[in-house]
Amino acid sequence: MEFDWWQLTPRRELFSVPDSLAALDSRGMAFSIEERQAMGIHGLLPPRVKTQEEQVQLCKLSIDRYEDPLNKYIYLMGLLDRNEHLFYRFVGENVAEMMPIVYTPTVGLACQKYGLVYRRPRGLFITINDKGYVYDILKNWPETDVRAIVVTDGERILGLGDLGACGMGIPVGKLALYTALAGIKPHQCLPITIDVGTNNQGMLDDPLYIGLRQRRVRGPQYDELIQEFMEAVVKRYGQNCLVQFEDFGNANAFRLLEKYRGKYCTFNDDIQGTAAVAVAGLLASLRVTNKQLSDNVIVFQGAGEASLGIAELCVMAMKAEGTSEEDARGRIFMVDSKGLIVKNRPEGGLNEHKEKFAKDCTPIRTLAEVVEVVKPSVLIGAAAIGGAFTPSILRAMGDNNQRPVVFALSNPTSKAECTAEEAYVNTDERAIFASGSPFPDYRTKDGRVLRPGQGNNAYIFPGLALGILCAGLVDVSEDFMLLAAEALADIVSQENLDQGSLYPPLEDIQECSVKIAKKIVEHAYATGKASVQPPPLDTEAFIRSQMYDVRYGRALPPVYDWPHDTPKVNVL
């Protein structure tokens, strides 16, 4: 005899009508008939029951209907608002296609138009006017079990400059990758924008601008707000809550990293995460060039967060090869907006970070001249000057090296120093190329397909964060960054290298995150820095057990979270 679904008592008392309508979104037509009955939502959905796989196919059809990437972004964010499981499954199964939308380059466009694309609340805004009340604002966030925060003050959004409160797209996008690429549970992630104003006149004049209409507050007021924020995070979520600093302006990024590292569970993604992904690419390139890192001469276009972070980690990696610090620094040349960084620069103005790489020679003004004089084997761009690697610079790299290494790391695509095609065409297809934003495959004259890898910190921060959370690591010291770089480089296969990529394919990025996390956790225990006790018997199994399951769970009976009033420490 067939079961009569109507015999189940609808549990209407648990859901008001708006509740049930909102609940519908969480899995839509995937609710079984039994679930629909029990939840009192029978009839509110079309009769057919769909599998999540079928829903994923519908997502693909839906997003493909949009030509404009910003519309694809709006579609994806809408999906995230409605149905988290489906969003993460869809993005996770289509990483190569969806990352350019959730992340660079489209997220840059979304930030520039955030007032236009903003639909529903996502993340917390803390303004300079909230000084004294930051903890109260954190208390307004409905989730109590937050383990990871990505915070920006919007001053240097990708290479697009100061976008003020519209920078919120970046923490939202980065944390979407925390879950999509490393399985960190979405409810444990909190995007935050600290709004102290913006110096971007275009934003201030824009009727759609969503932030405070004032110029940036700097000095003690700013520092006090950030300090209050850090303390409030610990008070609300515990000392193991990770705070990833993202897209702060140069001066604040370095200052705040120095101030908070070792005292709070924090890292700066633009300085440290970028360093790890670039060094991973360089380590992988050594298998093509048959060199040691210390055999290379590296020129950086840009001497900011990304470049200095990479340069310092290169020094660490060269020292690990047995090279002295002096020799290592001697192999690294940095070019900023005023030219090659040299001692006794007439204009002065070298900060302590740049000073360490200053060369004892006469000033050289342009990158082209530096390349001509220094003859680098590696050229790395992170100055947000689109097209800075001109065809003649690339040709010089090709003339001076059998396999020149060229990294165009600036984001978004419009700021890339050169395209993959330009790098290949101007070096007789000998360049070993990577870029911050994705470039399409390139077909060589003899018909091979080169798949340029994406040298983007997205290969690092999700796995790094997963490892930090699983180990309960608070002091994210530089050895963890080198370890993450080595772990990522180790994953690169000969096939990847043969296809011109220094990174594993984006399709494998979730597995990369687990491998990076494993190394982080093992090192945290080996160095006595892990606070989760006892140590797991099987590290990888433990990590996997903590990860978010994109499949729908059972909808019956309704599950209510235990009300955590106090932060839970060390338990994922």
Ligand X SMILES: NC(=O)C1=CN([C@@H]2O[C@H](COP(=O)(O)OP(=O)(O)OC[C@H]3O[C@@H](n4cnc5c(N)ncnc54)[C@H](O)[C@@H]3O)[C@@H](O)[C@H]2O)C=CC1
Structure-token match 């699983």, residue found: 470
> Nearest distance from residue 436's CB to ligand X, in Å?
3
Per CB under 5 A, contacts with Mg ion among 241-280 are 246-247, 270
Are 506 and 456 in contact, with CB atoms under 8 Å apart? Answer: no
Pairing of strands 148-152, 405-408: unpaired
Other Cβ atoms closer than 10 A to 349: 9
The yes or no reply on residue 158 touching ligand PYR (CB under 6 A) is: yes
Task: Indicate the residue type of 23.
Answer: A
Among 38, 177, 306, 483, the residue binding ligand X under the rule CB under 6 A is 306
158 is a contact residue toward ligand X (CB under 6 A): yes
Residue ranges of E strands in 137-218: 148-152, 189-195
Site string for ligand PYR, 88-117 (x = CB under 6 A): ----------------x-------------
Tell me, yes or no, if 359 is annotated catalytic: no
Smallest distance from ligand X to CB 300, Å: 9
Going by DSSP bridges, is the β-strand pair 148-152/242-245 parallel, antiparallel, or unpaired? parallel
Is 195 a known ligand-binding residue?
Answer: no
3-state helix, strand, coil in the chain (%, to 5): 50, 10, 40
360: β partners: none
**Residue in 103, 209, 424, 552 annotated catalytic:** 103
- Give the span between the Cα atoms of 155 and 222, in whole angstroms: 13
- State which of residues 456, 496, 501, 546 lies at the interface with ligand PYR (CB under 6 A): 456
Residues 6 or more apart whose CB falls under 8 angstroms from that of 272 comprise 257, 309, 313, 476, 478, 481
Q: Is 153 in the site for Mg ion (CB under 5 A)?
A: no
Q: Is 195 in the site for Mg ion (CB under 5 A)?
A: no
Residue 301 interacts with ligand X (CB under 6 A)?
A: yes
The site string for ligand PYR over 225-254 (x = CB under 6 A, - otherwise) reads ----------------------x-------
Choose which of 198, 301, 457, 510 interacts with ligand PYR (CB under 6 A).
Answer: 457
Question: Which alpha helices (H) appear in 250-378, and where do they start and end?
Answer: 250-260, 274-289, 305-320, 325-330, 352-355, 367-374
Residue 139 CB: number of other CB atoms within 10 A? 13
162 binds Mg ion per the rule CB under 5 A: no
What is the separation of C-alpha 122 from the centre of its chain, rounded to a whole number of angstroms? Answer: 17
| Binding flag, residue 177, ligand X (CB under 6 A) | no
CB of 316 to ligand X, least distance (A): 18
Listed in sequence order, the residues at least 6 apart from 46 whose beta carbon sits closer than 8 Å to its beta carbon are 29
Compare residues 105 and 472 and give the one whose CB is closer to ligand PYR.
105
CB of 159 to ligand PYR, least distance (A): 7
Please give the radius of gyration of the chain, using alpha carbons only, rounded to the nearest integer: 25
The least CB distance from residue 242 to ligand PYR, in Å, is: 16
Q: Is the separation of the CB atoms in 305 and 354 below 8 Å?
A: no
Closest separation in Å from C-beta 411 to ligand PYR: 4
Size of the site for ligand X (CB under 6 A): 29
Over the window 7 to 46, marking each residue x when it contacts ligand PYR by CB under 6 A and - when it does not, the resulting string is ----------------------------------------
Q: What is the nearest approach in angstroms of ligand PYR to the Cβ of residue 413?
A: 11
Angle at 85 between CA 83 and CA 91, to 5 degrees: 100
CA angle 549, 550, 556 (to 5 degrees): 80
Q: List Cα–Cα distances, 536 to 128, 322, 518, 532, 533, in angstroms.
A: 42, 34, 11, 9, 8
Q: Does 337 bind ligand X (CB under 6 A)?
A: yes
Do the Cβ atoms of 102 and 180 come closer than 8 Å? yes
* Residue 129 labeled ligand binder: no
Tell me if 415 contacts ligand X by CB under 6 A. yes
Query: What's the N-to-C CA distance of the chain in angstroms?
Result: 45
CB crowding 161-186: b at 16 or more within 10 Å, else e: bbbbbbbbbbbbbbbbbbbbbbbbbb
Please say which residue, 312 or 522, places its beta carbon nearer to ligand PYR: 312
Q: Which is nearer to ligand X, 87 or 300 (CB)?
A: 300
Q: Tell the smallest beta-carbon distance from residue 33 to Mg ion (Å).
A: 46
DSSP string across 51-62: -HHHHHHHHHHH
Verify whether residue 103 is a known catalytic residue.
Answer: yes
Q: Does 411 bind ligand X (CB under 6 A)?
A: yes
Nearest to 413 by CA among 381, 441, 386: 386
Q: Which residue is nearest to ligand X (CB)?
A: 304
* Phi/psi at 477 (5° precision): -80, 170
Residues 433-492 that bind ligand X (CB under 6 A): 436, 455-457
Total residues at interface with ligand PYR (CB under 6 A): 9
> Rule CB under 6 A: is residue 422 a binding residue for ligand PYR?
no
Asked if residue 36 belongs to a known ligand binding site, the reply is: no
Residue nearest ligand PYR (C-beta atom):
411
Among 40, 159, 462, 567, binds ligand X (CB under 6 A): 159
Query: Does residue 427 touch ligand PYR according to CB under 6 A?
Result: no
Asked if 35 interacts with Mg ion (CB under 5 A), we say: no
To the question of whether residue 496 is assigned a binding role by annotation, the answer is no
Q: Which does 383 bind (CB under 5 to 8 A by kind): ligand PYR, Mg ion, ligand X, none?
A: ligand X
Cis amide bond preceding 535, omega within 30:
no
Q: Does 417 help bind ligand X (rule: CB under 6 A)? A: no
Q: Is 344 annotated as a binding residue?
A: no
Options 174, 185, 359, 515, the catalytic residue: 174
Catalytic residues: 103, 174
Annotated binding site for (S)-malate: 156, 411, 456
Residues contributing to the site for Mg ion (CB under 5 A):
246-247, 270
Annotated binding site: 156, 246-247, 270, 411, 456
Residues contributing to the site for ligand X (CB under 6 A):
156, 158-159, 250, 270, 274, 277, 301-307, 335-337, 382-385, 409-411, 415, 436, 455-457
